[in-house]
């Protein structure tokens, strides 16, 4: 029965379990729906804290039934145990949006009125496109009505006195669409086969919160791969291609917040495949080994029950690498890795289950997981470039004007991830919402973290640091083309700036060599440490601008030095200990003392070498630093000219002269990494 309209719900201070139990007996569907509402609303902190709220719940169904409305009402009034401060006199207002056509409807004027008249407003809508834009903006949140959990399924069967089901069957039932789900739950007996037949017979659930791949901005070359992947799935579904020719498994890797999860969701949506999401830490939360393995098994069985399907495994690095486990955990962890390998290999008929793994730390993953037939294809997900940043901002906003300005804002947000950008748009949307309108350009500008200008002293330090890299790079490889830039203004996100203080780019004519010699590797380390060496030489001490994080100069130098020792046989020991691609600075920590001393020795030697090069070329370095400080960017030609002793236009006082006054002084200024 289709149903639209408004309802007032009175809160009760206490939930009534008895009332709920009776409801289950009378209407199991209602109980399950109620459970779904409670799940959907549980994360609403405003609701939990008794603050005013307006939440839109997307049912994802063809229609909104009386049962939906009733279940929402029950969730708000009766059984909601997470309602700590109910005001007895409070009433919630439930509005059911059920526009007859699929067209987007215009803003219903009353939205704002509801908010004025009621502290608590719950709006039910069938899908996101039915929700008017303004309502999306005004609402505190738009949430999806995810289905009941396996626990709910089992509980209802118990309450109805039906034969119990195992976890796998319960999970398969939970993945059915709602009407099939209810009928499966109520059957006196139900097996996995029956559930699979029901799944085939019923249409997929129409929950559509995820954008389609085609609509998603960003992702550079990963996007091409994803589009091809979706085309291939289509071909397989049409029988023009065999599933065995699909990639069996894919690893998406890149910094957190670059949208790996979102990409997997969009792929699944565009390919029309169910997505079974799991994460290693999620499995681990089940506790001891047996439960963890069981949870893992369940994930893969669920996928198999629904195949063709995609399994998305987040944080896959958390599973670890068998070669690196400390002894006390070795046995436990080895079993976990082996079990995952087995599951991915799919003992018996996993042809149509594709695994997408995601990680921020690809180097920490067990090599066996990355072999062919497993997560065989490795797709880097990079930080978005300036055009992509613009597209991502635009994607999350509905700006009509000011697009050019938005492009400028995006250009200045180097280093920001998709998640950072989305956060920015959320803040802007909130500002707009307070005035009951969509976000405007001005709101975006206001939501930006404030710009901080570097002190003159810090700017000079960065200039000297970068000039150090340039000079040493030039001395060690005179034919290379080096360009360099620095910035004085930063936007901090939280306690860090994603923007680098300065960047030097090197293009060496001999960069495409097939092997690295010891000399090349030492030069790499020397060049990486040259920024810090220049600071020490000219400013009396180095800052933490070259260290302290992954990707910093010191991290890069340490990794290469460690590779020389443990992988390349370039230290006292000739033994091969581990694959070079597995080496991280973390590996260094775990080396026995004798080998760690070798790493230290290489780093120290190259640091001393960098110190003597910068001392010897102090005059060039001064010229470079001065020009960089003044111009912000030096092209490779500028660099060549300056090193050759020419001055480039507009030169003023020598940095080193100015710095002489600072010599020996070392303030703990926070300098963004350079």
Residues forming contacts to Zn ion in the complex (CB under 5 A) are: 531, 546, 553, 674
Identify what 390 binds: Zn ion, ligand ADP, none; CB under 5 to 8 Å per kind.
Answer: none
Which of 388, 391, 414, 466 does the annotation list as catalytic?
Answer: 466
Residue 587 touching ligand ADP (CB under 6 A): no
Distance of closest approach, residue 256 Cβ to ligand ADP, in angstroms: 4
Beta carbon nearer to Zn ion, 229 or 506:
506
Token pair 């994803």 is found at 226
Q: Quick one: DSSP state of residue 81? A: T
C-alpha 322: how far from chain center: 25
User: Pick from 57, 64, 190, 392: which binds ligand ADP (CB under 6 A)?
Assistant: 392
Identify what 422 binds: Zn ion, ligand ADP, none; CB under 5 to 8 Å per kind.
Answer: ligand ADP
Cα separation, 525 vs 574, in Å, equals 20
DSSP string, 414-442: TT--HHHHHHHHHHHHHHHHHTTS---HH
Identify what 473 binds: Zn ion, ligand ADP, none; CB under 5 to 8 Å per kind.
Answer: none
User: Pick from 28, 60, 147, 218: which binds ligand ADP (CB under 6 A)?
Assistant: 218
Q: Are 76 and 34 in contact (CB under 8 A)?
A: no
Identify what 358 binds: ligand ADP, Zn ion, none; CB under 5 to 8 Å per kind.
Answer: ligand ADP
User: Pick from 53, 83, 219, 300: which binds ligand ADP (CB under 6 A)?
Assistant: 219
* Those residues with Cβ within 8 angstroms of residue 406's Cβ, 6 or more apart along the chain or in another chain: 390, 393, 394, 397, 399, 441, 444
Estimate the crossing angle of helix 220-238 against helix 260-271, to 10 degrees.
30
> 142 phi and psi, to 5 degrees?
-120, 115
* Those residues with Cβ within 8 angstroms of residue 226's Cβ, 6 or more apart along the chain or in another chain: 213, 219, 263, 266, 267
Task: Find residue 123's DSSP bridge partners.
Answer: 56, 95
Residue 278 touching ligand ADP (CB under 6 A): no
Distance of closest approach, residue 234 Cβ to ligand ADP, in angstroms: 23
Q: Any idea what the Cα angle at residue 542 is, between residues 541 and 548, rounded to 5°?
A: 150
* Those residues with Cβ within 8 angstroms of residue 191's Cβ, 6 or more apart along the chain or in another chain: 169
User: Pick from 36, 130, 258, 359: which binds ligand ADP (CB under 6 A)?
Assistant: 258
Q: Are 298 and 170 in contact (CB under 8 A)?
A: no
Identify what 501 binds: ligand ADP, Zn ion, none; CB under 5 to 8 Å per kind.
Answer: none
Beta carbon nearer to ligand ADP, 262 or 614:
262
89 tagged catalytic: no
Distance of closest approach, residue 350 Cβ to ligand ADP, in angstroms: 24
Residue whose CB is nearest to Zn ion in the complex, by number: 531
Cα separation, 511 vs 480, in Å, equals 9
Residue 390 touching ligand ADP (CB under 6 A): no
Identify what 553 binds: Zn ion, ligand ADP, none; CB under 5 to 8 Å per kind.
Answer: Zn ion
Cα separation, 89 vs 324, in Å, equals 61
Cα separation, 497 vs 77, in Å, equals 46
Residue 422 touching ligand ADP (CB under 6 A): yes
- Please give the structure tokens belonging to residue 31: 């109980």
Beta carbon nearer to ligand ADP, 432 or 674:
432
> 606 phi and psi, to 5 degrees?
-75, -30
Identify whether 666 is preceded by a cis peptide bond (ω within 30 of 0).
Answer: no
Residue 260 touching ligand ADP (CB under 6 A): yes
Residue whose CB is nearest to ligand ADP in the complex, by number: 418
Per the document, the length of the chain is 674
Beta carbon nearer to Zn ion, 274 or 672:
672
User: Pick from 274, 357, 362, 418: which binds ligand ADP (CB under 6 A)?
Assistant: 418
- Please give the structure tokens belonging to residue 244: 């065995």
Q: Are 376 and 323 in contact (CB under 8 A)?
A: no
Beta carbon nearer to ligand ADP, 417 or 499:
417
User: Where does this chain touch ligand ADP (CB under 6 A) — which range of 54-62, 99-107, 193-201, 414-422?
Assistant: 414-422
CA distance to 251, 254, 270, per residue, from 234 (Å):
21, 27, 10
Token pair 């200990």 is found at 577
Identify what 180 binds: ligand ADP, Zn ion, none; CB under 5 to 8 Å per kind.
Answer: none
Token pair 């799944």 is found at 199
Beta carbon nearer to ligand ADP, 389 or 487:
389
User: Pick from 84, 209, 256, 540: which binds ligand ADP (CB under 6 A)?
Assistant: 256
User: In the window 82-141, what residues touch ligand ADP (CB under 6 A)?
Assistant: none
Cα separation, 607 vs 590, in Å, equals 23
DSSP string, 555-569: HHHHHHHHHHHHTS-
Residue 357 touching ligand ADP (CB under 6 A): no
Direct distance between the N- and C-terminal alpha carbons of the chain, in angstroms, rounded to an integer: 64
Distance of closest approach, residue 231 Cβ to Zn ion, in angstroms: 43
Identify what 274 binds: Zn ion, ligand ADP, none; CB under 5 to 8 Å per kind.
Answer: none
Identify what 545 binds: Zn ion, ligand ADP, none; CB under 5 to 8 Å per kind.
Answer: none
Q: Are 198 and 216 in contact (CB under 8 A)?
A: no
Distance of closest approach, residue 209 Cβ to ligand ADP, in angstroms: 10
Beta carbon nearer to ligand ADP, 72 or 379:
379
Distance of closest approach, residue 467 Cβ to Zn ion, in angstroms: 11
Distance of closest approach, residue 530 Cβ to Zn ion, in angstroms: 8
User: Where does this chain touch ligand ADP (CB under 6 A) — which range of 30-38, 260-268, 530-538, 549-557?
Assistant: 260-268
Nearest to 504, CA basis, from 618, 644, 624, 328: 624
User: Pick from 55, 58, 213, 216: which binds ligand ADP (CB under 6 A)?
Assistant: 216
Residue 217 touching ligand ADP (CB under 6 A): yes
Residue 60 touching ligand ADP (CB under 6 A): no
Beta carbon nearer to ligand ADP, 60 or 217:
217
Distance of closest approach, residue 469 Cβ to Zn ion, in angstroms: 6
CA distance to 138, 459, 516, 641, 663, per residue, from 600 (Å):
58, 30, 20, 36, 28
Residue 395 touching ligand ADP (CB under 6 A): yes
* Those residues with Cβ within 8 angstroms of residue 478's Cβ, 6 or more apart along the chain or in another chain: none
Q: How many residues bind ligand ADP (CB under 6 A)?
A: 17
Mind telling me the catalytic residues?
Answer: 466
By CB under 6 A, name the binding residues for ligand ADP.
Answer: 216-219, 256-262, 358, 392, 395, 418-419, 422
């Amino acid at each position: 029965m289709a149903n639209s309209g408004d309802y007032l719900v009175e809160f009760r201070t206490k939930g009534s379990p008895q009332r709920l139990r009776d409801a289950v007996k009378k209407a199991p569907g209602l109980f399950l729906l109620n459970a779904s509402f409670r799940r959907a609303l549980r994360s609403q902190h405003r609701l939990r804290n008794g603050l005013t709220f307006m939440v839109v719940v997307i049912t994802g169904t063809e229609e909104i039934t009386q049962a939906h409305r009733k279940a929402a009402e029950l969730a708000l009034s009766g059984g909601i145990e997470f309602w700590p401060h109910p005001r007895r006199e409070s009433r919630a207002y439930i509005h059911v949006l059920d526009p007859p056509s699929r067209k987007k409807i215009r803003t219903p004027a009353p939205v704002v009125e509801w908010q004025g008249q009621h502290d608590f407003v719950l709006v039910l809508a069938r899908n996101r496109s039915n929700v008017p834009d303004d309502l999306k903006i005004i609402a505190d949140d738009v949430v999806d009505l995810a289905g009941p959990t396996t626990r709910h399924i089992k509980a209802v069967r118990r309450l109805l006195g039906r034969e119990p089901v195992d976890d796998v069957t319960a999970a398969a039932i939970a993945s059915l669409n709602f009407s099939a789900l209810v009928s499966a739950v109520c059957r006196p007996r139900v097996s996995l086969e029956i559930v699979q037949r029901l799944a085939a017979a019923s249409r997929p659930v129409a929950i559509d919160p995820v954008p389609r791949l085609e609509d998603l901005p960003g992702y550079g070359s990963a996007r091409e791969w994803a589009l091809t992947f979706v085309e291939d799935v289509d071909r397989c579904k049409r029988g023009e291609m065999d599933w065995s020719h699909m990639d069996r498994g894919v690893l998406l890797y890149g910094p957190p917040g670059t949208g790996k999860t979102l990409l997997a969701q969009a792929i699944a949506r565009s390919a029309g495949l169910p997505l079974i999401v799991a994460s290693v830490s999620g499995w681990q939360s089940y506790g001891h080994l047996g439960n963890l393995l069981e949870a893992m098994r369940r994930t893969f069985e669920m996928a198999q029950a629904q195949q063709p399907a995609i399994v998305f495994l987040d944080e896959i690095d958390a599973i670890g690498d068998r070669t690196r486990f400390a002894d006390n955990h070795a046995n436990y962890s080895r079993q976990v890795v082996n079990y995952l390998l087995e599951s991915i290999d799919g003992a018996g008929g996993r042809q149509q289950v594709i695994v997408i793994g995601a990680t921020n730390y690809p180097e920490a993953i067990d090599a066996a997981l990355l072999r062919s037939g497993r997560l065989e294809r490795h797709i880097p997900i990079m930080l978005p470039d300036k055009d992509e940043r613009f597209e991502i901002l635009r994607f999350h906003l509905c700006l009509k004007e000011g697009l050019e300005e938005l492009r400028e804002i995006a250009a200045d947000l180097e280093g920001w991830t998709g998640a950072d950008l989305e956060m920015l748009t959320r803040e802007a949307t909130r500002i707009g919402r307070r005035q009951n309108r969509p976000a405007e350009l001005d709101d975006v500008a206001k939501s930006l973290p404030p710009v901080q200008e570097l002190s003159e002293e810090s700017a000079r330090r960065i200039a000297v640091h970068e000039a150090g890299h340039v000079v040493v790079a030039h001395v060690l490889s005179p034919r290379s083309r080096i360009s360099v830039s620095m910035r004085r203004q930063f936007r901090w996100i939280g306690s860090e700036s994603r923007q680098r203080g300065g960047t030097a780019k090197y293009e060496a004519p001999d960069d495409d060599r097939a092997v690295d010699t010891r000399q090349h590797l030492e030069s790499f380390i020397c060049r990486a440490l040259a920024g810090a060496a220049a600071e020490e030489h000219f400013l009396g001490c180095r800052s933490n601008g070259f260290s302290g994080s992954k990707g910093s100069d010191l991290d890069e130098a340490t990794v290469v030095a460690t590779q020389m020792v443990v992988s390349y046989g370039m230290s006292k020991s000739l033994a091969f200990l581990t694959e070079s691609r597995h080496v991280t600075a973390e590996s260094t920590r775990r080396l026995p003392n004798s080998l760690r001393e070798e790493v230290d020795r290489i780093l120290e030697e190259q640091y001393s070498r960098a110190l003597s090069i910068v001392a010897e070329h102090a005059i060039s370095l001064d010229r470079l630093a001065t020009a960089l400080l003044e111009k912000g960017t030096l092209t490779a030609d500028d660099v060549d000219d300056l090193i050759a002793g020419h001055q480039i236009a507009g030169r003023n006082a020598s940095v080193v002269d100015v710095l002489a006054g600072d010599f020996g002084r070392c303030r703990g200024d926070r300098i963004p990494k350079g």
